[in-house]
């Protein structure tokens, strides 16, 4: 996860179905001929010397309905934050006009930030969830979208819950069918995702029913797992099992499952995830506020657990994966060096925890792609043409490729993301 290759003046050749057919280097024999031919038939797009092509990013965990709250109430503990800020907002999506307004804005915001694929939590409302799928199609983003299932009357408010386990499961199945119908109208397929909110929000019956659907339809699953001390403790108290083991018991830890946060997972859980092919969505900004720990990314990757990067809006305040790349690096450095300045340096923190910006970039690209079984996240033949063209901000000196890459990761804001492509279609 540390090898980034940089090729100057490369030709990226796309086929008509949105894949990269070939990449041609300046040193390749037919470089000049292919370039000339493309120029002649007006299919050549050229870039300025300060522009760079990167793979599009994959946001592996985001709550679409929470976009209006991004930046709000980050000082509350998780369950208080859910009750006070999050559930009242999510309940508003029975209003379809509100849903359309927010979802169209969010999808465009993410694309403008270079996010070409996103794994979304919606709300309990299928009509609104369908609006999110339509917004993805309209603006050209690859969406993975979940109808949120939450039927536990003890942990969900009366005004925002599935009326029963049967309703949670039936509505999930209905959404799977509705997305299937919508997909008949587009080449940019959207994927329905089985989405138990997290163990505390669900009853054993809904977890069972959703696990059955995961098997029946072979679809992705998403949830939160061991995000906070509170959540971790809830599973132990109510099921006498670890949070991950509860989800596994109900058939929800498949090799298409993506579990958000995982800050409280232990080595036993990592081994379970690795064995079943379960991925972790690392949400480094959100974890500062709600995670009660830093995800030890190096340790997770050493256990061969698939890992990607998520914004977790609005647990995280930023829609940008660049910001999350930076936070992933910063948090890992704090984990390594600790914070108690009264201890000698060699006794602070957890040794060998710091990750490089290249590893964080890997999470935002290939790591997320592998978690979703997508052939994207890399500029190479056979990969989807999900790309972003970014300009380097502070280019005053002749930097080498590694330095340019590092500066791009730290200096890129929306203004520098000049073009974005999904399946070869320009979307920004």
Minimum separation from the CB atom of position 4 to ligand GUN (A):
30
Q: Which is nearer to ligand GUN, 295 or 409 (CB)?
A: 295
Q: Rounded to the nearest 5°, which phi and psi values hold at 181?
A: -65, -45
Beta bridge pairs of residue 144? 119, 191
Q: Which does 290 bind (CB under 5 to 8 A by kind): Fe ion, ligand GUN, none?
A: ligand GUN
Q: Which is nearer to ligand GUN, 159 or 396 (CB)?
A: 159
Closest-approach residue to ligand GUN (CB): 315
Q: Which is nearer to ligand GUN, 78 or 325 (CB)?
A: 78
Minimum separation from the CB atom of position 218 to Fe ion (A):
24
Q: Which is nearer to ligand GUN, 78 or 179 (CB)?
A: 78
Minimum separation from the CB atom of position 197 to ligand GUN (A):
5
Q: Which is nearer to ligand GUN, 114 or 315 (CB)?
A: 315
Minimum separation from the CB atom of position 69 to ligand GUN (A):
10
Q: Which does 298 bind (CB under 5 to 8 A by kind): ligand GUN, Fe ion, none?
A: none
Q: Which does 57 bind (CB under 5 to 8 A by kind): Fe ion, ligand GUN, none?
A: none
Q: Rounded to the nearest 5°, which phi and psi values hold at 201?
A: -75, -15
Minimum separation from the CB atom of position 308 to ligand GUN (A):
16
Minimum separation from the CB atom of position 407 to Fe ion (A):
31
Neighbouring C-alpha atoms within 13 Å toward the C-beta of 217: 22
Tokens standing for 371? Answer: 């978690």
Q: Which is nearer to ligand GUN, 128 or 420 (CB)?
A: 128
Q: Which is nearer to ligand GUN, 63 or 423 (CB)?
A: 63
Tokens standing for 130? Answer: 């369908």
Q: Which of 55, 190, 140, 137 is nearest to 428 (CA)?
A: 140
Directed axis angle between helix 96-112 and helix 126-139, to 10°? Answer: 40
Q: Which does 148 bind (CB under 5 to 8 A by kind): Fe ion, ligand GUN, none?
A: none
Give the total residue count for the chain: 428
Q: Which does 197 bind (CB under 5 to 8 A by kind): ligand GUN, Fe ion, none?
A: ligand GUN
Q: Which does 227 bind (CB under 5 to 8 A by kind): ligand GUN, Fe ion, none?
A: ligand GUN
Minimum separation from the CB atom of position 316 to ligand GUN (A):
8
Contacts with Fe ion, residue ranges (CB under 5 A): 260, 312
For residues 427 and 114, give the distance between their C-alpha atoms in angstroms, rounded to a whole number.
10
Q: Which is nearer to Fe ion, 19 or 144 (CB)?
A: 144
For residues 269 and 244, give the distance between their C-alpha atoms in angstroms, rounded to a whole number.
6
Minimum separation from the CB atom of position 61 to ligand GUN (A):
8
For residues 67 and 47, give the distance between their C-alpha atoms in angstroms, rounded to a whole number.
33
Minimum separation from the CB atom of position 117 to ligand GUN (A):
20
Contacts with ligand GUN, residue ranges (CB under 6 A): 63, 78, 82, 86, 197-198, 224, 227, 286, 290, 312, 315
Q: Which is nearer to Fe ion, 65 or 140 (CB)?
A: 65
């Amino acid at each position: 996860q540390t090898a980034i290759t940089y090729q100057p003046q490369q030709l990226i050749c796309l086929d008509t179905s949105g894949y990269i057919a070939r990449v041609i280097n300046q040193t390749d024999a037919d470089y000049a001929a292919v370039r000339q031919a493309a120029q002649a038939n007006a299919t050549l797009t050229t870039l300025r010397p300060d522009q760079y092509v990167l793979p599009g990013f994959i946001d592996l965990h985001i709550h679409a309905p929470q976009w209006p709250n991004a930046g709000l109430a980050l000082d509350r503990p998780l369950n208080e934050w859910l009750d006070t800020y999050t559930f009242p907002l999510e309940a508003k999506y029975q209003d379809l006009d509100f849903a359309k307004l927010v979802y169209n804005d969010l999808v465009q915001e993410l694309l403008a930030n270079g996010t070409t694929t996103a794994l979304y939590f919606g709300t309990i409302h299928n009509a609104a969830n369908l609006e999110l799928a339509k917004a993805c199609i309209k603006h050209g983003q690859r969406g993975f979208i979940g109808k949120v299932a939450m039927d536990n009357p003890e942990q969900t408010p009366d005004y925002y819950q599935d009326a029963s386990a049967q309703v949670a499961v039936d509505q999930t199945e209905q959404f799977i069918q509705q997305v299937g119908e919508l997909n008949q109208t587009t080449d940019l397929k959207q994927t329905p995702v089985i989405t138990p909110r997290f163990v505390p929000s669900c009853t054993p019956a809904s977890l069972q029913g959703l696990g059955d659907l995961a098997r029946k339809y072979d679809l992705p699953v998403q949830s939160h797992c061991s995000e906070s001390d509170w959540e971790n403790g809830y599973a132990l108290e109510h099921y006498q099992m670890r949070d991950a083991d509860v989800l596994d018991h109900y058939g929800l830890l498949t090799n298409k499952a993506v579990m958000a946060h995982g800050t409280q997972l232990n080595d036993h859980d990592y081994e379970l995830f690795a064995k079943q092919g379960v991925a972790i969505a690392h949400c480094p900004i959100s974890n500062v506020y709600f995670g009660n720990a830093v995800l030890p990314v190096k340790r997770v990757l050493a256990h061969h657990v698939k890992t990607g990067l998520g914004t977790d809006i609005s647990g995280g305040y930023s829609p940008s994966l660049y910001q999350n790349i930076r936070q992933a690096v910063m948090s890992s450095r704090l984990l390594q060096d600790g914070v108690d300045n009264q201890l000698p340096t060699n006794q602070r923190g957890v040794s060998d925890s710091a990750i490089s910006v290249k590893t964080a970039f890997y999470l935002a690209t290939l790591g997320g792609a592998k978690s979703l079984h997508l052939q994207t996240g890399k500029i190479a033949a056979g990969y989807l043409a999900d790309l972003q063209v970014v300009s380097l901000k502070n280019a005053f000196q002749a930097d080498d490729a590694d330095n340019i890459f590092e500066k791009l990761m730290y200096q890129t804001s929306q203004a520098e993301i000049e073009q974005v492509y999904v399946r070869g279609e320009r979307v920004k």
